[in-house]
Structure 1
Amino acid sequence: MENISYYMPSNTLTMEGLEISESSTYPVFFTLLFVYIALLITNIGVLVIIVAERSLHQPMYLLFCNLSVNDILGNTILMPRVLLDMVSKERFISYSACVTQAFFSHTYGSASHTILIVMAIDRYVAICNPLRYSSIMTTKAVVTLSVCAWGFSAVLVGILLSLTIRLSRCRSLIKHAFCDNASLFKLSCEDVSINNIYGLFYTVLLFSSSMGTVAVTYIRIAVICWTKKNAELNSKAIQTCASHLVLYLIMLLMGYIIIIMHRFPENQFIRKLIAILFHVIPAHLNPIIYGLQTKHLRLKILQVFGRKVNPS
């Protein structure tokens, strides 16, 4: 089902999608649908609580709103299309729509790193410079850091895809469950060495910057807690940093699994499924983990559900 015309490629592409048996189609479909709806409810719920509750208008919670927005956008541009392809006999998508989906998919992954970098810096300032926290992490600073996180991700992904869309196409089959950069440049019969080089640079830059920032900030936090031996400070550090670190490790683990699975092209179904789970699992767990580990947010969530909570 591939278009072999080199000079006049069709603007309509065919999506290979998840190749599963007919008996497994609807169980997998409804499982993914349930997970998608659940992540929408939890992320939108957290957003509404933070926006509506003035006591939560603090840099830590406002920065977390970026993560929820990223989870909602990244999955909404992906999951409805994946679910539709699972129950459709004809899986067609226009080239422009495929590029758009790839842009948001990669931006989701990149922004997950950059937003968590900003949140690590926020936790560092809060614990290591508590007296200057309010003067450093102002509303302007939060907005600036958020814009930089999104802008940096968009620029990296924009360059990545601009190198791909310049290529002419000789194929029309997307061998994946959704559109991404690798699937798009594999439609070309041209030399894609530049794409591979920039893709490696993009991955190394993103992972090294996020891992480096998180490592440095958490080592500094650990040193401060160890030298001061302050029980209150240590308790605050654990409460505020545990959720952030868990979110980061989940996202990092899923990213590494995807990279490793690209080395095993024969396991196509597992690779496609893991790529989907990379979007839905962190997005589903982020508000749950952050809500349970962060005391003030947890109290507000419990109050919303009508439970009497003693703040002390």
Structure 2
Amino acid sequence: MHNLYNVSSVIELKGFDLPPEAVLPAFLFATLSYMIILLCNCVLILVITLNKSLHQPVYLILLNLPINDLVGSSAFFIQVIKELLLDSRTIQHAACVTQAFFIHVYAAGTIYILTAMAYDRYIAICCPLKYNSIMTNAHVLKIITGVWVATLLMMGLLFLLLLRLPRCRSQLTHSYCDHPSLLTLVCADTTANNVYGLLTVAVTQLVANGTILYTYLQILIACFRSKRSDTKAKALQTCATHLVVFLLLECLGLFTIISHRIKNISPQLRRFIGTSTLIFPPTLNPIVYGLRTKEIRDKLVSILKSKIIPLR
């Protein structure tokens, strides 16, 4: 069916519509942001993998978060940096689909990983005596496998439904590739795609929000019942910080999804929110969920002291 349309294999992106004098600052900002994301997430991965004392359920689940952040940020920033460096707004259709797929894997994966982490904290705080018997290595492996299998299957089917449709346009109205934008290039009935896309969003939101709201509510109740003020304060601070980051991701992600279905919304605002979703969470996640954790911070300080101080 694709041969029925004389359509180019090259996709034209809308770009960021930057004036010439803003291209270099934008390139430096994008490069610096990507380097910071790479550094923070790679440090977190190395600290967890190289220290056997951190090979515990909570950190093994946490390990998947920086890996997922690297997938999403790499899919986004590599294309953006190339676009700014070469002053090119074109991308091969196959590369565009690949970028969109990994960006959607990142988005769904982040939600499911944070849900798994909330479940782990719920067991640890609300059922501390049963924690070791419930969160065994086998159970943690099932959770991690379930997160990735569910994410890849949902996103794989979403893009299989997209690729079966004929394409007759080559101009993308977005600055990077995602599923809703690629769907605008199609010249066929997209009802099945829209229904499945909304269904995946609804299921993801129901599972994630339901689990996280329930677990953190139970954690807060357990904290208020605790007689130890230090434990209460630490748990409340941790829950509040995690909830703020989760809500930030939720607001940015949902607005991005909804904005594609509102015709009168500003394209600049849509691009800004969509870009923010791929910049701020991968930057904040390793700091909030990793470096602010005492055990990880202590291990990182220990590594830095052992490697840097002897060189002086």
1:159 aligned partner: 157
Q: Deviations over 1:247-294 (max 9, x none)?
A: 312211221332354336552223223212211211011111224531
Distance 2:303 2:181 in 1: 44
Q: Is the 8 A contact 1:123 1:241 kept in 2?
A: no
- Evaluate the alpha carbon distance shift between residue 122 and residue 12 of structure 1 in structure 2; reply closer, same or farther with a 3 A threshold: same
- Deviation per CA, 1:135-168: give whole Å up to 9, x if none: 1111121121111111111111112111111111
Identify which range, 180-189 or 101-110, moves more after superposition: 180-189
Match of 1:289 in 2: 288
Q: What TM-score do you get using the length of structure 1 for normalisation?
A: 0.90
Contact 1:119–1:244, Cα closer than 8 Å, also in 2: no
2:94 to 88, 93, 96: 96
Whichever residue aligns with residue 296 of structure 1, its letter is E
Q: CA deviation at 1:236?
A: 5.1
Distance change (3 Å), C-alpha of 1:267 and 1:251: same
- Preserved CA contact (<8 Å) 2:12 2:90: yes
Query: Is 1:217 the counterpart of 2:225 in the alignment?
Result: no
Q: In the alignment, residue 122 of structure 2 is paired with which amino acid?
A: Y
Change (3 A) 1:265 1:96: farther
Q: Secondary structure at 1:13's aligned position in 2?
A: strand
Identity of aligned residues (%): 36
2:80 aligned residue: 82
In the alignment, the residues of structure 2 paired with residue 302 and residue 13 of structure 1 have an alpha-carbon distance, to the nearest angstrom, of 47
Cα shift at 1:84:
0.8
Tell me how far 1:192 sits from its aligned partner. 1.4
Alignment of 1:232-311 (within 5 A): 233-235=231-233, 237-238=235-236, 240-262=238-260, 263=262, 265-306=264-305
Question: Unpaired runs of 5+ in structure 2?
Answer: 307-312
How many residue pairs end up in the alignment? 304
TM-score, length basis structure 2? 0.90
Q: Which residue is 1:310 aligned to? A: none
Aligned CA-pair RMSD? 2.2
Partner of 1:111: 109
Task: Give the 3 Å change call, closer, same or farther, for CA 210–119 of structure 1 in structure 2.
Answer: same
SS at 1:93's partner residue? strand
Note the C-alpha offset of 1:57: 1.4
Q: Check the 8 A contact 2:123/2:131 in 1, yes or no.
A: yes
CA distance in 2, matches of 1:71, 1:212: 23
Bigger Cα displacement from structure 2, 164-173 vs 193-202: 193-202
Letter in 2 for 1:189: C
Q: Which moves more between the two structures, 224-233 or 269-278? A: 224-233
Contact 2:30 2:80 in 1 (8 A): no
Q: Which residue of 2 aligns with 1:42?
A: 40
Residue 131 to residue 99, structure 1, CA distance change in 2 (3 Å): same
Question: How far off its partner does 1:230 sit?
Answer: 4.0
Contact persistence 1:239–1:294 (CA under 8 A): no
Kept in 1, the 8 Å contact 2:44–2:291? The answer is no
Name whichever of 230-239 and 103-112 sits farther off: 230-239
- Aligned residue identity for 2:19: S
Indicate the residue corresponding to 1:8 in structure 2: 6
Q: Single out whichever of 187-196 and 241-250 deviates more from structure 2.
A: 241-250
**What amino acid does structure 2 have at the position aligned with 1:294?**
T
8 Å contact kept, 2:82–2:88: no
Partner deviation per Cα, 1:82-122 (whole Å, 9 max, x = no partner): 11112334433222221111110101000010001100100
Whether contact under 8 Å (1:29, 1:83) holds in the other structure is yes
